[in-house]
Each structure stands twice: as C-alpha cells, then as structure tokens.
C-alpha cells in the first residue's frame, strides 16, 4: 500500500507491522505506529524498528495477537508492553498510558492506562517523537512534530522544564537527538535543559554512558561542547574545568574547551565524517588533564607537563565510570597518552609507534596509528596559525606510515622470522618467561633497525643472548 497523502510518511509500513495492526483492530482495538519509525519515515530516511501503541490492555493484546498466529513475549508488562514476533521481527506493542510523578527523576512512580492515543503522545519527550501513524488514517501530529522536523529543531512536548524534571536523562537525549539529526535545540527547551542538567547527578552512570556514546558517535560532540555544554559537564564533570581555561600559550588561540571542540570537529573533517569511536573519544578527552597539569614559568607562559599521561589515566577512569566497553577504553587511553608523542617520517619512528600500540592494544596497531595521525593533525589545525603548520609535517608521517606498511614493517612477535621454539632450541632454556624476554628483545632490535628480520642473523643473536 503506497502512502501518498501529503501528511503521510514517505515509506510504506512493512507487512509484519500491518499484520500486528490488523490483528489488534480485528479484535476491536485501536492501534498506531509511533516513535522512530514515524520520525525517520517523515525525514525520508529508511526506518528500521516498528513500535505500536494500542488501546488494548496488554493481556488482551497478547490474546488477540496469539489468536492471529503471532508469537508474543511478555517483555514489559508493568508498563503495558509485550513484544510481537512476526517473521522473526520483533514489534513492541504498548497500551496507551500516562505517567505519574517521577520522584527519582528517571522512572514514573505509577503508570495509568488510557484509551486515547493523544493522551499517550502527550507524555512523550520531544515533538518529533510524539507523532503516530495509521495506514488508513494517516499522520496524527498534535504537537507539531512534523513542522519541527522541517525546521530542524528539538522541542519538548508541553512544558520543557516539567519534561526534564520527570526524567533527567531526557537532558542528554535532547543533545543526542540534536547531534544525530544535525538539529538545533529550541530556545525554551534549551533553557530548561540547562536549568535541569543537575538532575543527571541522580542517574545511573551506565545510562549516562549510553547517551554519551550516542552523542560522541554522532560526530557532533564538538557542537555539543559549545552549544549544550552544561549537560555534558554533568555527564562528565572533568570537562567543566576546561571551559574558559586560558592556556597562556603562544601556540593556542582558544581556551581548553574551545580547542577541544575544534579538535572534535577537525577529526570529522579529516576523516570525511567517518572517524572511529576511538578517535572521537580521544579527541574529546585528549586534553582533559590540562587544567590539573597547568604551571606558569617565570615569563608567565603556560605549560602542561605530563598532561598526556595524566589524561590517559583520567580518560580511563571516566570511561570505566560510564561502563563503556574495554574494547573502546584501552584504545582511547592509548591515543590520549600518545597524542603528543613525537612521530617522525622515518621507518624507525613509525615502527616504534606501531609497537607501542601493539603492546597496548594487540592486533589494532595499524588502525590506531592512522587514528593517532588524524588526532595530531586535528590538534595542530586547532591551535594558532603558526602551530597549524605542523599539520603539513603530519602529512609526511602519513606517507611514511603507508610506505612502511607496504614494505612489510615488523612490529609484532609473530612477524619475526624466528619463534619461541627457535629460542628454546638455540639456548636450551625451558618454556617460560625467559623465552618471551628474548623474543621481546629481538623484536625491539628489529623495530629499532639494529637487526634485520633475517632468520640466520636472529638465530645468531639468540645464541649470543642465551
């Protein structure tokens, strides 16, 4: 069925969603599609998951769906939600509801089920999420969500202060939606967001981390730092000290927060908007320790001795506090630690840098070395014009890295032409840490260019070391 009405979404509802709606309505209930499917269809973006809201109490929704041959799981019955599974595709079906007070600023103290979909839409967070669609009736948009999509703004439903006081996590959700969609935040909603940001202090850090992941992965965290900083300062309190912090340096035109925002934007430019999450988090946190490490010399010039090492520790603490995965934490910690590490356009320097990444993040040295170069380039162009010239030198490092990789650079133990078995055969030592120590020494010699990666020469070196 084609949706051609001017108020209708640009995509057809999939058959599995139509089956669910038909089953509910055949039993005498109303049913509408809500949430992200409606928003994305109106934007002309192919929608993904479908959510349905219905006048059916969950018990009756389950019964009529099962009668229609649709499998049902009880996934959130306290809030009136079951999950229908059609052709292995899940669809959440939730009873129309309104919510009571939120004493913990996160969960409603009570839920009341209602019979009018408009009441259900009125409880939702933002106008772009408070629309419903029906395959025959078209779009139901009581709060102007479609117009806000067209204007590119995030606006709260009803009183924005009340919306944020109900659920403090909505403060970060507003920023995440603005970042993800490239929208601005409507002024009254923005003012309420700033005033309510402290409510995030009561939210579980894991939930805060999930929202921050969405903000950072959008590629617009630089925008968020400058336009919605207060929520981010409550999500990551260490960021607050960066705001307005004068670096007192001839190499910097901006305070630490402005510089960081510029770096975050620059990594997107240099990667065509495809920066890895590791690079994006490293850009956000690379200078987080500067306020702690600041000193002034006799001429009144600022220095930040040791800030990469201290910043690496802080970055790890922040990310673990937010319950971010180890596979993300370790690369970010290493990128922050090495962001001021001198890398020259020589094979030896390139190999030594690859080795550092290999030791810290086994198997990821190649991609992280390129990420480090992008971070350095972004860092350079976010300073004074004179300091930005270093970005040209970084281009030479990129070419040197590509040459070294193409020539078969060695930076991993398994790339050596000898193995632990050779060490034991040549020295007679038993399996154990001693074998690894000798191999690590050989790898260091090859990386530094003191020995070629040639089997006979390495065997001779083993005999000498044994």
Report CA torsion sign: 354, 359, 361, 362. Answer: positive
Measured CA to CA, the distance from residue 221 to residue 448 in angstroms comes to 38
Average pLDDT over residues 128-146: 95
pLDDT at 6: 45
Torsion of CA 323, 324, 326, 328, to 10 degrees: -170
CA atoms of 416 and 49, how far apart (whole Å):
49
Q: Do domains 15-151 and 152-235 have the same CATH topology?
A: no
The tokens for 454 are 């040639």
Cβ atoms of 109 and 140 within 8 Å: the answer is no
CATH of 152-235 among 3.40.50.300, 1.10.110.30, 3.30.300.30, 1.10.260.40: 1.10.110.30
The predicted pLDDT at position 108 comes to 55
Looking up tokens 């550092």, which residue turns up? 356
3-state per-residue secondary structure call for 157-168: CCCHHHHHHHCC
Question: In this structure, what is the dihedral angle of CA atoms 327, 330, 334, 339, given to the nearest 10 degrees?
Answer: 60
For CA atoms 385, 386, 392, 393, give the dihedral sign: negative
Provide the pLDDT confidence category of residue 4 given band limits of 50, 70 and 90. Answer: very low
Asked if residue 366 lies in contact with residue 338, where contact means CB atoms within 8 angstroms, the answer is no
Domain boundaries, the chain: 15-151, 152-235, 272-411, 413-465
The pLDDT value recorded for residue 113 is: 85
**Full 3-state SS string of the chain:** CCCCCCCCCCCCCCHHHHHHHHHHHHCCCCEEEECHHHHHHHHCCCCCCCEEEECCCHHHHHHHHHHCCCEEEEEEHHHCEEEEEECCEEEEEEECEEECCCCCCCCCCCEEECCCHHHHHHCCCEHHHCCEEECCCEEECCCCHHHHHHHCEECECCCHHHHHHHCCHHHHHHHHHHHHHCCEECHHHHHHHHHHHHHHHHCCHHHHHHHHHHHHHCCCHHHHHHHCHHHHHHHCHHHHHHCCCCCCCCCCCCCHHHHHHHHHHHHHHHCCCCCCHHHHHHHHHCCCCHHHHCEECCCCCEECCCHHHHHHHHHHHHHHHCCCCHHHHHHHHHHHHHCCCCCCCCHHHHHHHHHHHHHHCCCCHHHHHHHHHHHHHHHHHCCCHHHHCHHHHHHHHHHHHHHHHHCCCCCCHHHCCCCHHHHHHHHCCCCCHHHHHHHHHHHHHHHCCCCCCCHHHHHHHHHHHC
DSSP bridge pairs for 85: 71, 90
Q: Strand pairing of 71-76 and 81-86?
A: antiparallel
Report the pLDDT value the prediction gives residue 10, as an integer from 0 to 100: 67
Calpha distance 352→444 (Å, rounded):
8
Task: Please compute the mean of the pLDDT values over residues 34-56 and round it to a whole number.
Answer: 93
pLDDT digits (tens, 9 = 90+) for 163-216: 999 999 999 999 999 999 999 999 999 999 999 999 999 999 999 999 999 999
Distance of CA 298 to the CA centre of its chain: 42
Confidence of residue 465 (pLDDT cuts 50, 70, 90): confident
Interval 59-97: pLDDT, tens: 999 999 999 999 999 998 988 999 999 999 999 999 999
- B/e letters for 352-368, b = 16+ CB within 10 Å, e = fewer, are bbbbbbbebbeebbeeb
Report the DSSP beta bridge partners of residue 52: 33, 93
Domain 15-151, classified CATH 3.20.20.70, yes or no: no
| Burial (Cβ within 10 Å: 0-12, 13-18, ≥19) of residue 399 | exposed
CA dihedral 197, 199, 204, 209 (to 10 degrees): -10
User: Which has more pLDDT, 250 or 152?
Assistant: 152
Tens digits of per-residue pLDDT, 318-362?
999 999 999 999 999 999 999 999 999 999 999 999 999 999 999
As a whole number of angstroms, the distance between CA 362 and CA 388 comes to 32
Confidence of residue 3 (pLDDT cuts 50, 70, 90): very low
Other beta carbons less than 10 A from residue 348's beta carbon: 13
- Give the integer Cα–Cα distance in Å for 72 and 66: 7
How much is the pTM?
0.91
Q: Is the confidence at residue 399, as pLDDT, over 90?
A: yes
CB of 453 within 8 A of CB of 414? no
> Which residue shows structure tokens 């307005």?
244
Q: Are 197 and 230 in contact (CB under 8 A)?
A: yes
Neighbours of 398 (CB within 10 A): 17
Instruction: State how far the Cα of 434 lies from the Cα of 440, in Å rounded to an integer.
Output: 10
């Amino acid at each position: 069925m084609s949706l051609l009405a001017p108020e209708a979404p640009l995509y057809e509802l999939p058959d599995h969603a139509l089956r669910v709606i038909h089953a509910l309505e055949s039993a005498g209930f109303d049913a509408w599609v809500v949430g992200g499917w409606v928003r994305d269809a109106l934007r002309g973006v192919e929608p993904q998951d479908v959510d349905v809201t219905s006048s059916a109490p969950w018990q009756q929704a389950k019964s009529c769906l099962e009668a229609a041959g649709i499998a049902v799981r009880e996934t959130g019955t306290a809030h009136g939600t079951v999950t229908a599974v059609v052709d292995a595709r899940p669809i959440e079906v939730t009873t129309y509801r309104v919510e009571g007070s939120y004493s913990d600023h996160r969960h409603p103290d009570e839920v009341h089920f209602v019979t009018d979909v408009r009441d259900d839409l009125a409880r939702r967070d933002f106008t772009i999420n408070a629309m419903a669609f029906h395959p025959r009736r078209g779009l139901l948009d009581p709060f102007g969500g479609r117009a806000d999509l067209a204007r590119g703004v995030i606006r709260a439903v009803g009183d924005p202060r009340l919306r944020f006081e109900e659920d403090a996590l909505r403060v970060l959700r507003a920023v995440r939606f603005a970042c993800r969609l490239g929208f601005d935040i409507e002024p009254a909603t923005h003012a309420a967001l700033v005033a309510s940001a402290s409510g995030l202090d009561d939210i579980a850090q894991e939930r805060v981390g999930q929202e921050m992941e969405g903000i950072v992965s959008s590629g617009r965290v630089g925008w968020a730092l400058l336009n919605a900083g207060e929520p981010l300062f409550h999500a990551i309190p260490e960021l607050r000290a960066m705001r307005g912090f004068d670096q007192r340096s001839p190499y910097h035109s901006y305070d630490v927060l402005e510089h960081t925002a510029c770096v975050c934007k620059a990594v997107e430019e240099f990667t065509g908007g495809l920066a890895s999450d590791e690079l994006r988090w490293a850009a956000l946190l690379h200078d987080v320790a500067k306020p702690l490490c600041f000193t002034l010399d006799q001429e009144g010039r600022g220095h930040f001795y040791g800030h990469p090492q201290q910043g690496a520790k802080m970055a790890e603490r922040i990310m673990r506090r937010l319950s971010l995965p180890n596979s993300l934490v370790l690369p970010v910690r290493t990128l922050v630690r090495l962001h001021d590490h001198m890398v020259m356009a020589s094979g030896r320097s390139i190999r030594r840098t690859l080795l550092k990444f290999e030791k810290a993040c086994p198997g990821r040295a190649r991609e992280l070395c390129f990420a480090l170069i992008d971070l350095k380039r972004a860092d350079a162009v976010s300073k004074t014009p004179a300091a930005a010239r270093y970005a040209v030198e970084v281009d030479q490092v990129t070419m040197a890295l590509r040459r070294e990789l193409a020539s078969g650079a060695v930076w991993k133990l398994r790339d050596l032409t000898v193995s632990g078995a050779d060490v034991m055969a040549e020295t007679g030592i038993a399996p154990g840490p001693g074998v690894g120590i000798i191999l690590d020494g050989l790898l260091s010699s090859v990386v530094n260019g003191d020995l070629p990666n040639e089997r006979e020469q390495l065997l001779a070196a083993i005999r000498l070391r044994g």
